């Protein structure tokens, strides 16, 4: 159906625009000496939450990009439920971040690079759509995956 393809293509282009914002946040993490992961939360076409890894800066093991962005989004909406929101993140979320997304009831997760060692969407674990949980999240993987992987590889190369 041609109309469906046009809408799907528009959605994919929009996803790439938002992933660019997540990449900008990841660059901030890199500049701060943190593992370069960035995230944004989108509600009605606007960024309502933005985060980058801040574990070292904040002395906080939970200060992952996704959690930072979800906290900001919740404060922005005045609600812990983010059911009409989409989360864009540069790498497949870990179990903690995936769990936070389930609790927030996000609508959609869009991420860049897979994380074979700690990814909790479809790599190491399957948290987001686990049958025992009370919420399901629509997932799109691989958006700007090469660029998302490259910023992480650059960080770890510089540490070796």
In tens, the pLDDT along 46-100 reads: 999 999 999 999 999 999 999 999 999 999 999 999 999 999 999 999 999 999 9
Nearest-angstrom CA–CA distance, 69 and 1: 36
CB 23 within 8 A of CB 144: yes
Active site annotation includes 150: no
Class in CATH terms, 2-159: alpha beta
C-alpha 94 chain-centroid distance: 10
When computed from its CA atoms, the radius of gyration of the chain, rounded to whole angstroms, is 15
Of 7-16, 23-32, 99-108, 149-158, least confident by mean pLDDT is 7-16
Place of tokens 């943190």: 34
Q: Which tens digit of pLDDT belongs to each residue from 2-28?
A: 444 445 566 668 999 999 999 999 999
Per DSSP, the chain holds a count of helices (H) and strands (E) of: 5, 5
Catalytic residue among 11, 34, 66, 72: 66
Q: What pLDDT score was predicted for residue 2?
A: 42
- Phi, psi values for residue 141, rounded to 5°: -105, 155
Q: How confident is the model at residue 160 (pLDDT cuts 50, 70, 90)?
A: confident
């Amino acid at each position: 159906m041609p109309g469906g393809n046009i809408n799907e293509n528009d959605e994919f282009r929009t996803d790439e625009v938002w992933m660019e914002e997540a990449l900008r946040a990841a660059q901030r993490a890199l500049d701060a000496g943190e593992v370069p992961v960035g995230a944004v939360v989108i509600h009605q076409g606007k960024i309502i939450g933005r985060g980058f890894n801040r574990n070292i800066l904040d002395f906080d093991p939970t200060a992952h990009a996704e959690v930072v962005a979800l906290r900001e989004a919740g404060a922005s909406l005045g609600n812990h439920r983010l059911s009409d929101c989409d989360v864009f993140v540069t790498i497949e979320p870990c179990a903690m971040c995936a769990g936070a997304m389930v609790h927030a009831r996000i609508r959609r997760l869009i991420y860049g690079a897979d994380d074979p060692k700690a990814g909790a969407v479809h790599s190491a674990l399957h948290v987001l759509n686990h049958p025992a949980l009370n919420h399901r999240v629509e997932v799109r993987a691989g958006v700007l995956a090469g660029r998302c992987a490259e910023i992480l590889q650059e960080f770890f190369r510089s540490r070796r």
